[in-house]
Structure 1
Amino acid sequence: MDTPQHDTLFPAEWPALPDAPGFTHSIVETPGLRTHLAEIGEGDPVLLLHGCPEHWWQWETVAPLVAARGYRVLCPDLRGAGWTAAADEHMDRETRLQDILAILDELGIARAHLLSHDLGALTAMQLSYEHPERVRRAVQLSVPPAFMAFSLRTLPGFKHLPAFLFHRPGASLRGTFSSEYAARPLPDAVIDAHLAPLRRPEIDRAIRSASRRLIVPEGLRMTAGVYRRRRLTVPTRFVYGREDRFWNEAIMRRICRHPERYADRVDFAYVDGASHFMTDDAPGAVADVALEWIEQDAGAPTGGPEAIRWG
């Protein structure tokens, strides 16, 4: 269903925005980029970064729940996704990071809470490590910490990557939402809404660019232990679905031993009835686990084993 703002913001031939009551839509202009921003609520800013092949609408149920607790929730379409238009859809490892910094500057936001999922978590991770002064607290969904230790047990968690690395324009990505990654079947209408922007050729082409020039280089850095030689200072909660067969509590305990060596304050939490696409499987629980972390007392302990919780 189209929103009344579509005709004034986007070319008529673009796919219609999916319906999401309560959101306002605008364009944030930064050099070489016209970012579509969906926004709801007022208060301290919470920035939500979507996964792939999704866009702002991934948060259509989560964002209103966060906003209802007194927050201004910002859901941008990242470069190469959704209804954002770029002079060049190609990107390198930090292109989206620089985009987010420019957007925050344009909006006059010095610091924000951060909630991210899947591919958006890579950009969120970069923001936390490279510009911790811009992040208050972070919640990362369905993706392991950058300081994880790779092992053969982690390889199944990357079995979906070839479909993105070798994506041919026009090829269907509906299989991404299979039962391997969702706790329950997603309705066709929901999958259609997630995939609608791929009808724009430049967005379809960007799938391969983001995979090869963002995921692969960042993955190689993680494999090489770059982030195990750095320190995460932003308080961060890592959240996984109990039904996620690739990233579960047993795996996380194995690949994230002694997290206090790499982070000041981290927390591992798990959502019942959810798999990888937890914002579809259990949006209410996602909102709750994110808000509980964001709203923790600022005087909570930092540093040392006492600052680490495993859920």
Structure 2
Amino acid sequence: MTPGDALLLPGPWEHRFVAANGARFHLVEAGDGPAVLLVHGFPGFWWSWRGVIPALAGAGFRAIAVDVRGFGASDKPPTGYDLTSAAADLAGLIRSLGEDQATVIGHGLGAWTVRHLPVFAPAVVRAVGLVSVPAPPTISAYGALLPRPAGRRYRRALTVASATATGSVDAADVAAVLRAGSGGDRGWLTEEVVARHTDALAQPFVAHATDEAFERLRPSSRELRQIAHRRALTCRVFVAHGARDPIVGIDDALRVTREAQGPLRVEILPEAGHFVPEEAGPELAGALVDWLR
């Protein structure tokens, strides 16, 4: 068994490996129709979208959930974790999959990248979906200690869970990360969920990728200049957020709606916390299908 095999989980999808932007990416795919690319957050991998993929495929869309650079079964090179490269990865994937454009939906850190995809690669974007998206005032929820106790607990747990690249990640630490970021109902947080996420974090070199991704969360001065010239979101925008998210508050998450100049839909999931695709997968899937149609 090679590293990553434990993450090639069976289901109503097919596993593929695709080359894009100088790296090899693992993804799962289901359905035919307009392409919808799903981008996971942290801690996570493609499996975070397991409750959404079948619904999109059944509704007539080509659902594609990718392991981003440095995570899951995708390549984990030493560099390429800045915002520009992350956007180039997604744009390259869309083209490598034979698509001119796609609707791109991200969660958490993935949503942070997806929000900037229209800045760095506007030609490939049909529409964007932002789930649990961090805003500049709350990006420190991932990169530094927060004043809120829940944020501090989340960051401490996250640091412990990603502290090693040797495969010795402890399931209890991973459970603490997921628990600290979830809403009130933690029925979704089963032993299987913890085990799958532990397997993903224990892959060689994920710790390095995590450190690099957190280090480069904030745009560089060059990236800020590019963002300033194309800040407005002129494509269709979908924003979903858990009302009980202890990491990113609703007001902070909805700041992104001020930049939406095209059609906008906002969906608040009343019982969900930060991990909306896993905590409220069916509800999110239903809202996405309705929006996509």
Fold agreement, TM-score > 0.5: yes
**Aligned equivalent of 1:234:** 235
Write out aligned runs for 1:12-91 (5 A). Answer: 12-17=2-7, 19-88=9-78, 91=81
Provide the identity percentage: 25
Query: Counterpart of 2:243 in structure 1: which amino acid?
Result: R
CA distance in 2, matches of 1:180, 1:127: 25
CA distance in 1, matches of 2:211, 2:20: 24
CA shift, 1:227, in A, is: 5.3
CA distance in 1, matches of 2:82, 2:133: 20
Aligned match for 2:219, one of 212, 217, 232 = 217
Rg (Cα) greater in structure: 1
CA distance in 2, matches of 1:267, 1:106: 29
**Aligned equivalent of 1:5:** none
**Aligned equivalent of 2:142:** none
CA shift, 1:228, in A, is: 9.6
TM-score, reference length from structure 1: 0.76
**Aligned equivalent of 2:177:** 176
CA shift, 1:204, in A, is: 2.5
Write out aligned runs for 1:1-311 (5 A). Answer: 12-17=2-7, 19-88=9-78, 91-144=81-134, 156=148, 159=152, 160-161=154-155, 167-169=162-164, 170=168, 172=170, 173-174=173-174, 175-185=176-186, 186-213=189-216, 215-217=217-219, 230-249=231-250, 255=255, 259=258, 263-295=261-293
CA shift, 1:32, in A, is: 3.2
CA shift, 1:87, in A, is: 4.0
TM-score, reference length from structure 2: 0.81
CA distance in 2, matches of 1:26, 1:294: 24
Note the alpha carbon deviations across 1:180-239, whole angstroms, 9 max, x for none.
Answer: 4244220121021123122222122211111112x13379978x9x55973111111211
CA distance in 2, matches of 1:42, 1:193: 27
CA shift, 1:242, in A, is: 2.1
CA contact (8 A) 2:183 2:271 kept: no
CA contact (8 A) 1:113 1:137 kept: yes
Query: 1:145 and 1:234, CA in 2 relative to 1: closer, same or farther beyond 3 A?
Result: farther
CA contact (8 A) 1:239 1:268 kept: yes
CA contact (8 A) 2:78 2:209 kept: no
The answer for unaligned runs of 5 or more in structure 2 is 140-145
CA contact (8 A) 1:235 1:265 kept: yes
Q: Cα RMSD (Å) of the superposition?
A: 3.3
Matched residue SS, 2:6: coil
CA distance in 1, matches of 2:247, 2:286: 23
Query: Counterpart of 1:178 in structure 2: which amino acid?
Result: R
CA distance in 1, matches of 2:138, 2:198: 33
CA distance in 1, matches of 2:248, 2:203: 32
Matched residue SS, 1:75: strand
Query: 1:177 and 1:92, CA in 2 relative to 1: closer, same or farther beyond 3 A?
Result: same
Query: 1:155 and 1:230, CA in 2 relative to 1: closer, same or farther beyond 3 A?
Result: farther
The answer for unaligned runs of 5 or more in structure 1 is 1-10, 296-311
CA shift, 1:161, in A, is: 4.8
CA contact (8 A) 1:116 1:139 kept: yes
Query: Counterpart of 1:216 in structure 2: which amino acid?
Result: R
Note the alpha carbon deviations across 1:233-289, whole angstroms, 9 max, x for none.
Answer: 111121111222444445556x56x82x66333332201321111111111110111
Matched residue SS, 1:27: strand
CA distance in 2, matches of 1:64, 1:28: 21
CA contact (8 A) 2:135 2:252 kept: no
CA contact (8 A) 1:132 1:233 kept: no
Out of 123-132 and 202-211, give the one that drifted further.
Answer: 123-132
CA distance in 1, matches of 2:68, 2:252: 30
